[in-house]
Structure formats: structure tokens, C-alpha cells
Amino acid sequence: MSEHFTNRPSQTKKLGQILAKEILKEKTKKGAQVLGLRGVLGGGKTTFLQGFAKGLGIKEKILSPTFVILKKFEIQKPGFEFFYHIDCYRIEKPKEILGLGFKKIVSGLQNIVVIEWADRIQEILPQNTILISFEFNNKDKRRITIKWPRKSV
Ligand code: ADP
Ligand code: MG
């Protein structure tokens, strides 16, 4: 596990960007790389993802998909296909996510999948999910912990 403290949104984005680059280097051979994000509203999950998407070379802006549960972006890097941004904020049962083709998405070798509010679908997260928690220290300070199943970043 690694622990990070950030003092402003730009630092949280930078952390996301660094992690994305790390993942591009460490391509998994067992299905998609899944990242599960958890933590309270305003914790910085979407902010982190904006940096993360930038690190993947995605040009589109990442927004909090309030009414959209799943968004798909193309990754323009050799060996990769799609970046999925899933937000489970409005999800009550894992079944709702399964209904969106979740199993197929996470078995695609060339996909990177990030799930906000991942704790809502804990029981269907793949074993190699990287777990990232966001906690408030005060208004602008966040504690971000990364639990990498194979190694620490
Ligand atoms: P979540 O997706 O977890 O609900 P967001 O990323 O949408 O959170 O919102 C985080 C909010 O907190 C933003 O308004 C952002 O400007 C603010 N913020 C202040 N300090 C930080 C920080 N260190 N890291 C991330 N966001 C921060
Ligand atoms: Mg969010």
C-alpha cells in the first residue's frame, strides 16, 4: 500500500497521471486492469480521474457522470483499447452493473476500467483490482491510499 497527501486538486490530478503511466507500463495479462475508487463525495475521485485520463493520453474532459453510469473512451496507445469510467453512485445492486456488460468489459485484455464508488459493487470486483481510497484531512488536503495487488507505487 502507498499513502499520499495532496494539498490541492492539481496534486491529486498529478498522482492520477503518474499512476496511469505506471499502469501503461505494467500491462496485465489477466483481463482488464480495474481500479476501484472509494471515499466520500468531494473526496477527489473525479479530480484524480481527470489526471489519470490525461496520463492515458485521453483528450476528452472527464466529468462526474451524474446521470451517466458508464462512459467509454478510446485509448490511443498500442496494446490498449478502451478506458471505461463507471460511477456507481446511483447503483443499489451489483446486478445493475452486470446488466451493462460488466463481465465482458473487465475480461477485455486491453481495457482499463475505473470505478467510482466501487464499494457498492465490492462482490463483483475482479481480484486484481487496484483499490484507491480518498479521505478528507481538511478543506483542501486529501489522504489517498493505493492498494496495488501486485506491487506498491
Ligand atoms: P468526488 O468525485 O470524490 O466526489 P470530486 O473530484 O468531484 O470528488 O471533487 C473534489 C472537490 O474537492 C473539487 O471541488 C476540488 O476542487 C476540491 N479539492 C480541494 N482540494 C483537493 C485536493 N487536494 N484533491 C482533490 N480535490 C480537491
Ligand atoms: Mg465523482
Residues 22-79 have pLDDT tens digits of: 999 987 677 899 999 999 999 999 999 999 999 999 999 888 766 678 999 999 999 9
Q: Is the CB of 42 under 6 A from ligand 1?
A: yes
* Ligand 1 centre distance from Cα of residue 81 (Å): 28
* Ligand 2 centre distance from Cα of residue 132 (Å): 13
Alpha-carbon span 14 to 27, nearest angstrom: 20
Alpha-carbon span 123 to 75, nearest angstrom: 27
Q: Is the CB of 6 under 6 A from ligand 1?
A: yes
CA 117, 119, 125, 128 dihedral sign is positive
The one-character DSSP state at 129 is P
Alpha-carbon span 113 to 34, nearest angstrom: 5
Percent of the chain with pLDDT over 70: 95
Average pLDDT of the residues of the chain? 92
Alpha-carbon span 26 to 3, nearest angstrom: 20
